[in-house]
Amino acid sequence: MNQSLLDDFEHEKLEKAGFWLRLRATLLDGILLLIANSFFALFLLIASQAFPIITFEIRVALFVIIGFLYNPLMESSKSQGSLGKQVFNLKVVDKKEKRLSFGHAFIRTVAKLLSFVLFFAGFTMIGLSDKKEGLHDMIVKTAVIRIQKK
């Protein structure tokens, strides 16, 4: 493997995941979250009939919170990646190839918002960069790597 692809990551066998693989994992996460949120929405709708305190605004706030915490919780977990990343054998790591703390993963998610508001340019950088890093990866010094299943 070309050493320049590894940039300042320590592990020599590190293989970074490219744009299309990461996009597939993200799309799978979107589908899974849509399904889970549909069941959760139905539950909340039924619960709001019995408990009028569960207003529309509260339901929306819960969906936003769940959506925003999904990646940080999954990326800081033992699996080091969302369900979509797990399916495609990907992990999110720091510069020392270690698991992210929840705070580090949360900041990474916030940094993704910058990539989003820049008309997805920060995500497009993954495919255009030799280092296979998005803007959010560069900001918080993380990488998405492929792992070999044993």
pLDDT in tens, 46-60: 999 999 998 999 989
pLDDT for 13 equals 61
The candidate with the shortest Cα–Cα distance to 31, out of 74, 84, 107, is 84
Q: In total, how many domains does the chain have?
A: 1
Share of residues in the chain with pLDDT > 90 (%): 83
CB 70 within 8 A of CB 40: no
pLDDT for 4 equals 44
Instruction: In the chain, count H helices and then E strands.
Output: 7, 3
pLDDT for 138 equals 97
Q: pLDDT tens across 66-115, in order?
A: 999 999 999 999 999 999 999 999 999 999 999 999 999 999 999 999 99
CB 106 within 8 A of CB 72: yes
Domain containing residue 12 = 3-146
pLDDT for 148 equals 85
Q: What is the pTM of this model?
A: 0.86
Q: pLDDT tens across 107-139, in order?
A: 999 999 999 999 899 999 999 999 999 999 999
pLDDT above 80 for 14: no
The candidate with the shortest Cα–Cα distance to 71, out of 59, 88, 85, is 85
